[in-house]
Amino acid sequence: MLEGSCFCGFVRYVADGEPRDETNCHCSICRRTSGAPFVAWATVPAATFRILAGLPHSFRSSEHGTRTFCPRCGTPLTFRSDHSPDEIDVTIGSLVQPETLPPKDHTYAASKLPWVALADGLPAYPGSRS
């Protein structure tokens, strides 16, 4: 089981099921919505994701994507695509134990900032994996 929360602890969540598709996403939307050069994500089955405390705010970040964040401290928490309603992505950085779920690749690497050097030996995809 994965456990996570925002920085201030107002929003807490859990997700059962096996996480997959751990990635560092370099797309411009992830960068702009997080204020970071890229965001580490893991995908979990949506049916296993539960908010335990607090109520995150949400917004549409694209024609198919909805993101959530803590309304008190601003921590980015999840991404959900209309194209994949049975899954939800959680920010690895919001996990209680993020060290247990290292990213396995880089996605949207064609959009990465020029001063980010990918030197970790992980596969890098210009866009999505597909």
What is the residue-averaged pLDDT of the chain?
Answer: 97
Q: Where are the beta strands (DSSP E) in the chain?
A: 2-5, 12-15, 20-25, 39-45, 49-53, 57-60, 65-69, 76-81, 87-91, 106-107
Name the domain count of the chain: 1
Domain extent for 39 = 2-111
Decide if 64 is inside a domain: yes
Confidence of residue 130 (pLDDT cuts 50, 70, 90): confident
Residues 94-115 have pLDDT tens digits of 999 999 999 999 999 999 999 9
Decide if 50 is inside a domain: yes
Residues 13-31 have pLDDT tens digits of 999 989 999 999 999 999 9
Residues 40-57 have pLDDT tens digits of 999 999 999 999 999 999
